[in-house]
A and B are shown apart, each in its own frame.
Chain A
């Protein structure tokens, strides 16, 4: 399979809480990217972290990368209803390969 592993597969949290999603991969990477997909829509690029970086921030998003464990996490702080979507990690070496995604649901 081309796909990495994301965990959890689904996550429901109350609005205002933080949401954490994890991604694991098996081979070395140049960088790892996170994308969001709203229902029925295309994927939107959120953030990229390079293999020599350990943490990166963008607004309410925080991404970490642990190359020794071959894992990454995406933290969304102070979640909002509009954050309800599927989130995918994608590793990029010669091609970009997506995981299966985490379906995040923000409860009002």
Chain B
């Protein structure tokens, strides 16, 4: 069974440019998460979806970040315009349902460098 798939794996952009990351969760997983991980830090939640509904986006910087999960499957995270401080790894994760004991499965991450 395929795991959580993310693309691109690496992206280098100039500041003020837009960037988008794509995530395909594990088949059948209705909960999807986007995390941001800065160097040497733990992941921090940006947004969580239950099916196509964003149920927790309190940590998403909405002035420049947006996300969508059309049809409750794939998801896209966009940054526009990017700033130098957005350089980080963007991790997508999914789980079967929002049950506290369920394992969350992570993708390999999308590494963003803003120059």
CA gap between A94 and B104 in the complex, in Å: 14
List B contacts of A44 (CB < 8 A).
106
Can you list, as one digit per residue, whether each of B70-114 has a CB less than 8 Å from chain A (1) or not (0)? 000000000000000000000101000000110111111100000
CB of B101 within 8 A of CB of A95, answer no
CB of B103 within 8 A of CB of A41, answer no
Residues A98 and B106 in contact in the complex (CB < 8 Å), given A31-B101, A42-B91, A43-B91 = no
List B contacts of A106 (CB < 8 A).
none
**Count of CB-CB pairs between chains A and B under 8 Å:** 56
Residues A95 and B106 in contact in the complex (CB < 8 Å), given A3-B41, A31-B101, A101-B42 = no
Which B-chain residue is minimally distant from A96 (CB atoms)?
B104
In the assembled complex, A80 has its CB within 8 A of some CB on chain B: no
- Shortest A8–chain B CB gap in Å is 14
CA gap between A43 and B53 in the complex, in Å: 24
- By size class, the interface of chain B is 20 to 34
Residues A95 and B91 in contact in the complex (CB < 8 Å), given A31-B100, A45-B104 = no
Which A-chain residue is minimally distant from B6 (CB atoms)?
A42
Cβ-neighbour of B43 out of A48, A92, A98 (below 8 A): A98
Q: Identify the 5 closest CB pairs spanning chains A and B, nearest first.
A: A98-B42, A42-B106, A30-B100, A43-B106, A42-B108
Please name 18 further chain A to chain B contacts, defined as beta carbons within 8 Å, in addition to the given A30-B100, A99-B42, A100-B40, sorted by A numbering.
A3-B42, A3-B44, A31-B100, A33-B103, A33-B104, A42-B4, A42-B91, A42-B106, A43-B43, A43-B91, A48-B103, A93-B100, A94-B56, A95-B45, A98-B35, A98-B43, A101-B40, A101-B41
